Amino acid sequence: MLSYLTSATRSAASTPSADRLPWAGLLALGMTGFICILTETLPAGLLPQIGQGLGISEALAGQLVTLYALGSLLAAIPLTTATRRWRRRPLLLLCLIGFLVFNSITALSSNYTLTLFARFMAGVSAGVLWGITAGYARRLVTDALKGKAMAVAMIGTPLAMALGVPAGTFLGVLVGWRTVFGIMSLLTVVLVVWVLWKMPDYPGESANKRPPLHKIFVMPGVRPVLLVVFAWMLAHNILYTYIATYLAQAGLAKRVDFTLLIFGMASVIGIWITGMLIDRMPRLLILISLAAFSLASLLLGIGSSQPIVIYLAVAVWGLTIGGAATLLLTAMAESAGESADVAQSMLVTAWNLAIFGGGLLGAILLEILGVRSFPWVLFILLLLALLVAWRAKVDGFPSKKN
CA 36 → CA 40, 98, 264, distances in Å? 6, 11, 17
Residue type, 261: L
User: What's the pLDDT at 386?
Assistant: 97
User: What's the pLDDT at 371?
Assistant: 87
DSSP 235-254: HHHHHHHTHHHHHHHTT-GG
Confirm or reject CATH 1.20.1250.20 for domain 213-391, answering yes or no: yes
Q: Choose among 159, 156, 160, 163: nearest CA to 133.
A: 156
User: What's the pLDDT at 1?
Assistant: 37
Q: Choose among 121, 178, 188, 116: nearest CA to 156.
A: 188
CB 121 within 8 A of CB 72: no
The Cβ-side half-sphere exposure at 150, using a 13 Å CA radius, reads 31
CB 328 within 8 A of CB 388: no
Domain boundaries, the chain: 22-209, 213-391
CB 313 within 8 A of CB 250: no
User: What's the pLDDT at 259?
Assistant: 86
**CATH number of the domain located at residue range(s) 22-209 in this protein:** 1.20.1250.20
User: What's the pLDDT at 28?
Assistant: 93
- For 293-334, the pLDDT digits (tens) are 999 999 999 988 899 999 999 999 999 998 898 899 889 888
Q: Choose among 126, 162, 148, 133: nearest CA to 23.
A: 148
User: What's the pLDDT at 12?
Assistant: 43
Model confidence, pTM: 0.79
* Same fold for the pair 22-209 and 213-391: yes
Q: Which residues of the chain have pLDDT under 50?
A: 1-13, 402
- For 176-224, the pLDDT digits (tens) are 999 999 999 999 999 999 999 989 998 877 656 666 777 787 788 889 9
